[in-house]
Structure 1
Amino acid sequence: MQNIDFNQFADLSPFELKDKLIDLANTVPDRTLLDAGRGNPNFLATLPRKAFLRLGDFALEEAERNYSYLDGGFGGIPNGDDVVARFDTFAKQYGDKEGVQFLQKALSYAKDRLGIEQEAFLNELVLAFLGCNYPVPSRMLTHMETVVKQYIGEEMYGNVPMTQNFDVFATEGGTASMTYTFQTMFNNGLLKKGDKVALVTPIFTPYLEIPELSEYELEIVELRLDETTWQLPLSEIEKLADRDIKLLCVVNPANPASVKMSDETLSLLTDFVNENRKDDLFIVTDDVYGTFADDFVSLFATLPYNTLCVYSFSKYFGATGWRLGTIAIHENNVFDDAMRRLPEAHQLQLDDRYKTLTTTPRDIKFIDRIVADSRSVALNHTAGLALPQQVQMALFSLTCLMDSAGNYKAACKRIIRDRFKTLFSNMGIEMKQDKDRVDYYTLLELDDIGGQLYGAEFVRWFKENGKGKYFLFQLAQATGVILLPGKGFDTVNASVRVSLANLTHHEYELIGRETRKVLDQYYAEFQGQ
């Protein structure tokens, strides 16, 4: 494998590099390819999907009540009168189906726990499933936003007293949430070219790439996680004292390390921002993996004034293809206050930008500007996530809200943590317990593993000969195992990322054994020299 010029791939994202590794692995015919490179889970939530289908059956019956005299599968927009009574009749007819029972419980939960009248909620669900109207309000339908807010609150606040004093914008996945947020910060003068942005690294690759794009040209300041504990030292947090740093981007739990911020780290960062940067620091926290952690608390809960929360339903519910994400911002927030402090000349420019939306454009909140900017303002009337997608998002949320025993969450945690143990045991490596580790991904630190298996001299040889560069290619060609380079996520040491979400238990046994086999081959080469 020494004849591979690794440098030709230096500028590729990890996910583009993965395609090169797959091509290499496929040079050996009739061999199983084990792709643990991407984080698309191979498990999913079935109950809310059943409910979605049964809701569809009922919604179509409602539509067919109008214009029933016409042929050709013709229906009309339901008016919603007495819709609950008709649903009760429908439920008696199909009451043995899990999805129908789920919907009955959801209507009851919404009324008892969230104060949503059943007829209003059911009518909203029916019309949204049919997708026969534009999304109004554009950010998110009213009752569905209430449901999703409750879900986000329960998942993000942990032991912190929860509030619902925040707004939610339903988006086409977490990446859309990121893109929209950056765009609107620039459009409204909260960020400008040349500004400094702090990234807690290692970090998910788009956060490394977006600031460097020509339309942004932001200067990146890294707050480095300690790669032994994957926590943020106070010395790194203190870099935020530089007021030229306008924005802090965090993925928590971290990707690729898959470790959440410890209580101590969360407290250190929260206290520092409150004492030094509360008035002007913007924070974006991406908490997509928080639902896999134990006792998770988000910066959205501890620094509510400063923090915009990005959350995606993709991983936890096995719904990457649904493209379901959210942006959440508290009603009292630094983004809105910063816009109000802009110079009058800049305010006038923004008045002109948003003047078609209202006669008082300065009253438009930052999150509603994100909505407008997502459709270039002029097409704001067509903004908003597709309504059937909003229905599925609400049903996913209700799945967990009504699961008082936490059975779904326990199953999700168990499946990825069992795979973690299997992977490392088959490499012959014993891992220490860490209550903050999430295990959706894991980093194989080649230096550390080599030291445990073969000693310090081997590690020195491994580093001096740049073997870490070729490990992924050697592994792909020799075994058909596809992993991602830690360097693509800006790790310092030679490491590779393994997704523990997308293969079978047996296949992680094979990955562990094949990884050990390649490392043993390197050790044999070391001994031969």
Structure 2
Amino acid sequence: MAKHDTSRLASLSPFELKDELIKLAGSVSNRLMLNAGRGNPNFLATIPRHGFWQLGQFAMIESERSFSYLPEGVGGFPRRAGIEERFDLYARVHKDVPGVKFLTGAVSYVRDQLGLDGGDFLYEMCEGILACNYPVPDRMLRLSEKIVKQYIRKEMIGAHPFLGDFDLYAVEGGTAAMTYLFNSLKVNHLLNPGDTIALGMPIFTPYIEIPELAEYHLTEVSIDADPAGGWQYPKKELDKLRDPKVKAFFLVNPSNPPSVKMSDESLKYIASIVEERPDLILLTDDVYGTFADNFVSLFAMCPKNTLLVYSYSKYFGATGWRLGVIATHKSNLFDEQLANLPKNIQKDLNKRYSSITTEPEKLPFIDRVVADSRTVALNHTAGLSTPQQVQMVLFSLFSLMDSADHYKQTMKRLIRSRKAALYRGMGVAPEAVDENVVDYYTLLDVEQMSREVGADFVKWLLESIQPHELLFRLAEEAGVVLLPGGGFGTRHPSGRVSLANLNEEDYVKIGRSVRKLRDEYLARYQESGGKTQKPKKK
């Protein structure tokens, strides 16, 4: 049995609790630790990375053409004139080097499919990868935004009808997007202390924790997904959004940790609620949308009400790059609400932004987010680093040029085969196929692990174990690290298994460890005659 009073750790974030579990899992020498906790993928997109390095080589050649009369080690800005012709020559000479063919195709795609100037594109990419200039415009480099927009249209909107245009702000991943948005919503009085927001539960833990901080002090209402209903939001839960005191609805779609995309029916139902409540702010974090089949974001359904957060971290295996975007429709609710704030608040906000524009009252919300990210006074240094933006563009072009979605289909097969391996190790039949299940994560809860044993055993187990006891025993006895589902707002003791960061055989081993632990509790249950044993207090 575990020797730990896990109740004292109940208040910890699952990501902090993970560190305690890792210590236990690594406490036995010569034992392989299987860490399926944090969702860092062990796969990554290689072609756009090869392209990045080869672009860097070409950019260095371009830089060294300037100041060549000076001693070695000094370069200058690339020159726009003739850059496309010089790149064609470079590509012919290095045609067999990995990444060059991709770059050649990227220039052609940008020029022939997107209608942009190939030379301008190459100049922006070279200057960006050299990082020799500030990010200008600060929200996002000019052509980079146009290209990433096409990627967002493909992956987040798809074939869904979408009127108008939208703006992007390139940020340091999805977590930076959350930080910036929470701050600007507060600073601009779109959300005020004491306001009520709704959270689509379960959800990425920081969405639960941030609103509770003293500087925000928001009241949270849960919109609970139903595990028995495929982790979809029942209409009676979504109907909570009809209450006018609910100012905003924040969700992760596909969800984290159930890893289920919102059904078409639910998307349409939310859109119908927004028709009745045009003042409702929506924030959708769609980082896992690229793993789903036929994904449509809430941003596509309710563009004027929605803040879209998207990160490149998981799909391209780029957590270390910190790449993400915030998107807002050019005609949006947030700018309308800013214009309707009380005059005294507008006056204070105009003063806040007066150092960066002569017409602060016309400053769009997304540009306020940019300014607020650098405390306004440092707005002139705002913007994601230009090499990061270049890699983001190359990732986007890689997806756009892959018209048959070969990479996407490979990623889907990879994580779904790992889920099958997990269940195989547990000796449990896989769940029925659900078109909305994405499988980046899977939740193993007590009922799921024990469904073939019966409801009485499940009830006994829930009443007999301390919070997190199963997770601590898995870590200590088997070297297996899972995150607690309860920290994401699930209802019963469970473990979140990332299906992205281990190899297939590892998931078989995790499944066997889970099965062994479950069988031990089952034996105790049978020995006790099915009587509940309350955990002893320590």
Match of 2:248 in 1: 247
Would you say 1:433 and 2:427 are equivalent positions? no
Alignment of 1:115-154 (within 5 A): 115-154=115-154
Offset at residue 425 of structure 1 (A) = 1.7
Q: Residue by residue, what CA displacement relative to the aligned partner does 1:476-525 show, whole Å, maximum 9, x if unpaired? A: 11110000111010100121100000000110111011110111111111
* Per-residue deviation, 1:192: 0.7
| Alpha-carbon shift at residue 468 of structure 1 (Å) | 5.7
1 CA distance for matches of 2:484 and 2:132? 45
Letter in 2 for 1:398: L
Q: Distance in 2 between matches of 1:151 and 1:15?
A: 31
Aligned to 2:5: 5
Partner of residue 263, structure 1: 264
Contact 1:27 1:477 in 2 (8 A): yes
Amino acid at match of 1:89: L
Letter in 2 for 1:183: N
Aligned-partner SS, 1:114: coil
Asked if 1 retains the 8 angstrom alpha-carbon contact of 2:260 and 2:436, the reply is yes
**Hey, what's the Cα distance between the residues in 2 that align with 1:86 and 1:451?**
65
Task: State the partner residue of 2:523.
Answer: 524
Once superposed, what is the RMSD of the aligned Cα atoms?
A: 1.1
Three-state SS of the structure 2 residue aligned to 1:28 is coil
Q: Is the 8 A contact 1:153 1:163 kept in 2?
A: no
For residues 236-279 of structure 1, give each alpha carbon's deviation from its aligned partner in whole angstroms, at most 9, with x where no partner exists: 111111111111101000000000001111111111222x212x
Corresponding residue number in structure 2 for 1:159 = 159
CA shift at 1:158, angstroms? 2.8
Residue 303 of structure 1 corresponds to: 302
Q: Which structure 1 residue ranges, 4+ long, deviate > 6 Å from structure 2?
A: none
Deviation at residue 164 of structure 1 after TM alignment: 6.4
In 2, the alpha carbon distance for the partners of 1:320 and 1:511 equals: 24
Which AA in structure 2 matches 1:243?
A: P
Contact 2:164–2:330 at 8 Å: present in 1 too? no
> How far off is 1:451 after superposition?
2.7
More divergent stretch after superposition (155-164 vs 70-79): 155-164
* Letter paired with 2:256: N
SS of corresponding position for 1:444: strand
- The residue number in structure 1 matching 2:327 is 328
How far the C-alpha of 1:163 sits from its partner, in A, is 5.4
Corresponding residue number in structure 1 for 2:494: 495
Deviation digits for residues 328-356 of structure 1 (CA, Å, limit 9, x no counterpart): 00001101100000111111101100001
Structure 1 residue identity aligned to 2:483:
L
Letter in 2 for 1:37: G
The separation in 1 between residues aligned to 2:137 and 2:254, in whole angstroms, is 32
- Deviation, structure 1 residue 303: 0.5
Which amino acid is 1:92 matched to? R
CA deviation after TM superposition for structure 1 residue 364, in Å: 0.8
- In structure 1, stretches of 5+ residues that fail to align are none
Shift of 1:98: 3.2
Kept in 2: contact 1:484–1:498 (CA 8 A): yes
Find the counterpart in structure 2 of residue 415 from structure 1: 414
Alpha-carbon deviation of 1:72? 3.2
Counterpart for residue 91 of structure 2: 91
- What is the rounded CA distance, in whole Å, between the counterparts of 1:104 and 1:22 in structure 2? 45
Query: What is the identity, as a one-letter code, of the residue corresponding to 1:522?
Result: Y
Q: Report 1:172-321 matches (<5 A).
A: 172-228=172-228, 229-274=230-275, 276-278=276-278, 280-321=279-320
- TM-score normalised according to structure 1 size: 0.98
Structure 1 residues 314-341: Cα deviation after superposition (integer angstroms, max 9, x where no partner): 0000000000010000001101100000
The residue identity in structure 1 corresponding to 2:81 is: D
TM-score, reference length from structure 2: 0.96
Unmatched runs of 5 consecutive residues or more in structure 2: 529-538
CA distance in structure 2 between the aligned counterparts of 1:173 and 1:91, rounded to whole angstroms = 32
Contact 1:153–1:164 under 8 Å retained in 2: no
Output the amino acid matched with 1:169: Y
CA distance in 1, matches of 2:111, 2:97: 22
User: Quick check: 1:197–1:219 contact (8 Å CA) kept in 2?
Assistant: yes
User: Can you list the C-alpha shifts for 1:72-126, whole angstroms capped at 9, x where unaligned?
Assistant: 3111112211101111111111011231111111111111221111111111111
Q: Helix, strand or coil for the counterpart of 2:451?
A: helix
Question: 2:470 maps to which residue?
Answer: 471
**2:536 — aligned with what?**
none
Matched letter for residue 369 of structure 2? I
**Separation in structure 2 between the aligned mates of residue 58 and residue 303 of structure 1, nearest angstrom:** 42
Per-residue CA deviations over 1:104-154 (Å, capped at 9, x if unaligned) read 111111112211111111111110011111000000001000010000111
Tell me the SS of whatever aligns to 1:320. Answer: coil
Task: Report what 2:457 is aligned to.
Answer: 458
Q: Secondary structure, in 3 states, of the residue corresponding to 1:471?
A: helix
CA distance, structure 2, for counterparts of residue 197 and residue 103 of structure 1? 45
Q: Which residue of 1 aligns with 2:113?
A: 113
- 1:435 and 1:489 mapped to 2: Cα distance? 23
Q: How does 1:373-412 map to 2 (within 5 A)?
A: 373-412=372-411
In 1, are the aligned partners of 2:7 and 2:467 still within 8 Å (CA)?
no
Q: What is residue 364 of structure 2 aligned with on the other side?
A: 365
Q: Percent identity?
A: 54
AA aligned to 1:216 is Y
CA contact (8 A) 1:447 1:494 kept: no
Cα distance in 2 for partners of 1:469, 1:59 equals 52
Q: Is contact 1:198–1:248 with CA below 8 Å preserved after alignment?
A: yes
CA contact (8 A) 2:2 2:473 kept: no
* Alignment-mate amino acid for residue 471 of structure 2: L
In the TM superposition, residue 162 of structure 1 has moved relative to its aligned partner by: 4.4
**What residue identity is the alignment partner of 2:240?**
K
Q: Tell me how far apart the structure 2 counterparts of residues 72 and 64 of structure 1 sit (CA, whole Å).
A: 9
Displacement, 1:456?
Answer: 2.1
Number of residues of Structure 1 aligned to a counterpart in Structure 2? 526
Letter in 1 for 2:468: K
CA distance in 2, matches of 1:367, 1:285: 15
2-side partners of 1:158 and 1:134: how far apart? Answer: 33
CA contact (8 A) 1:451 1:458 kept: no
- Residue matched to 2:50: 50
